[in-house]
Structure 1
């Protein structure tokens, strides 16, 4: 385990599994004065190759013919299942055309352990962003797209479960001090969310290379500043490609690296670039966890800035581990109400 207050906390997967992460380290990672992010290293050996294949596929997907992309759009789910591009609004109210998203409902993870998510008739009618079936591109277009993506999502959620287990231990040991929501009524509350939630959502992202005549004017040119509404968000490192060559991952010169990519705001409001190693995963706190923990674990504002080079594109994968639809995130609000309030501002 490493601790540097200028950089995210780093822990090994083994330390998480062995409950060898101290309460003080969790507070340093996710607490009120933290950066709100933790890096997990020593992942299974197959992770690096699996990550590369999936993120290469994200770029291939984003450049399929429009008629093929149209087949995997689900408008009735607010474009939060399958393909979405230009449906999300930027802070200036304009559509976000520089980012393509492919969304997956991750209830397959709970089903593997016999926890088949259950939805009411009202859920099926009114919460299609969480109840709609996934749609995948044809294998003839992108071989093994579905299988590789599900394998990587399973690995990421497995790791998120270990992060959640350690957060649960802290919340249990400090229940009176945290003032957390009444919803936290078991010692493994967050771990159960990760294992059994019917709303866990993955987002495979491809940030298109900005046009040569459209140099970024703002810090959040690739993705506007926001906080996630999940409990825990799992993130891969970015995969950069140049001139559309998906098979070759590139690294920008050192002089450019600090100027682009994922930035978080520290508790003083200053931006800090986050470097996620290619063989590691990052986990960020979201606003649902902040609500559930009574503010002990704080959601972190973050954004993505495009590089100055116009031919560089970026792919990454995020998994939002969040409560089931009717789980309480506060005394008077369930998750579906909580998330709808946020989504209505972005779509």
Structure 2
């Protein structure tokens, strides 16, 4: 935890100069993640929402199938076994996706919905868990509002290096965008015969401007009761590859929201902010009782048709400097840069990223 920058919510609100802290967390030498402590209402929202991830997993496959939306590329509603990992259907986690702020981000525009189904589809909510919608939206709003404060500070850092940047991160992710992906996650306890190196989630970079993370809740799979800290300490959870290629376990305190910087910020900042590869691992070794993990992530992104590119006078070479190409598909392969180095459309870059990750895992 000593390597993870922890910010105070009050400092974000008051506008304190946090440039040094932001650079340490998100700059070329950072882990690409920071924590924000003291967020009002976090504990209440966390305890209200995360148990629904477990409850979803208990509804039964037939009920859950009714909430799958293949026409939205499974980026709305329930998704389990639809992603591929190491050539096999990923059965390690179940996800429920929704936009916590806009039930119809396309505002009825079917043409837009058809072109960008993963970002512009309508929400669907689970009738069997009527209180989940409110908890999902409440937590999503809390993460969104905190992220907005943090992104304004990120803009200040980038602007200090590239004055032409202005406040483009905030403008493209908040002022001009309704593209939000809230993901409520249930990581199933590994089977008794699972291999020691089996992971819940493969290495990847987020495509977002910023991703908010609610601290995970660890439960006994058989009863849904919370597992004591002694049963889950020391292993499992979020792992990040550091800039020196070392792999680091990040365990955010329950009173901290986590925020990972995404590739959209790396592009828009001209490499001042840099995304890092990360994955999620189960607890090491065999457990006396199977333990699952519940969490919530909010991917805050530019609008699907937004053009994104580095600040004026900054080349894409600054964005792609020291790009990762072993753990993840290289960004240069997913970012279709034209000869004139024109901005790329975010939704197209996102679609190309989906394809390259699929190819990597098959």
Query: TM-score normalised to the size of structure 1?
Result: 0.87
- Of 16, 19, 44, which aligns to 1:20? 16
1:227 pairs with one of 202, 205, 212: 205
Q: 2:272 aligns with which of 288, 292, 296?
A: 296
| Aligned-partner Cα distance in 2 for 1:201–1:122 | 20
- Residue number in structure 2 paired with 1:93: 87
* Cα distance in 1 for residues equivalent to 2:297 and 2:347: 20
Counterpart position of 1:284? 260
Q: Deviations over 1:274-329 (max 9, x none)?
A: 11111210000111111111111000111111113260100100000110012122
Number of the residue aligned with 1:274: 250
- The one of 111, 132, 136 aligned to 1:149: 136
Alpha-carbon offset, residue 258 of structure 1: 2.4
Alignment deviations for residues 112-142 of structure 1 (CA, whole Å, 9 cap, x no partner)? xxxx76685532222112121111111xx22
Structure 1 residue aligned with 2:33, among 27, 32, 37?
A: 37
Mapped partners of 2:108, 2:264: distance in 1: 21
Q: Aligned in 2, Cα 1:132/1:123: closer, same or farther, shift over 3 Å?
A: same
CA distance in 1, matches of 2:196, 2:108: 43
Distance change >3 Å, CA 129–CA 192, structure 1 → 2: closer
Aligned with 2:122 (options 133, 140, 154): 133
Task: State the 1:243 CA deviation.
Answer: 3.4
Shift of residue 77 of structure 1? 0.8
Q: 1:179 corresponds to which residue?
A: none
* SS at structure 2 position matched to 1:238: strand
Do the aligned residues in 1 keep the contact of 2:106 with 2:113 (CA within 8 Å)?
Answer: no
CA contact 1:216–1:306 (8 Å) conserved in 2: no
SS in 1 for 2:215: coil
User: Which string of whole-angstrom CA distances, capped at 9 and with x for unpartnered residues, describes residues 19-66 of structure 1?
Assistant: 11421211001000001111000111x321220121101110122121
Contact 2:172 2:306 in 1 (8 A): no
Q: C-alpha separation between the residues in 1 aligned to 2:302 and 2:43?
A: 29
Alpha-carbon distance in 2 for matches of 1:268, 1:119? 47
Question: Measured at CA, do residues 189 and 272 of structure 1 come closer, stay the same or move farther in structure 2, by a change above 3 Å?
Answer: closer
Select which of 243, 249, 259 maps to 2:226.
Answer: 249
Number of residue pairs the alignment of both structures matches? 323
What is the aligned partner in structure 2 of residue 323 from structure 1? 302
1:165-180 residue pairs with structure 2 within 5 A? 165-175=152-162
1:194 aligns with 2:174: yes
Aligned position for 2:328: none
Is residue 2:210 matched to residue 1:216? no
Q: Which residue of 2 aligns with 1:338?
A: 349
Structure 2 residue runs of 5 or longer lacking an equivalent are: 310-341
Moved more, 12-21 or 144-153: 12-21
Partner of 1:314: 293
Residues 189 and 273 from structure 1, CA distance in 2 versus in 1: closer, same or farther, beyond 3 angstroms? closer
CA positional deviation for 1:194: 2.8
Change in Cα spacing, 1:253 to 1:107, as seen in structure 2 (3 Å) is closer
Checking the alignment, whether the CA contact within 8 Å between 1:161 and 1:195 is kept in structure 2 is: no
1:258 pairs with 2:234: yes
1:332 to partner: Cα distance? 3.2
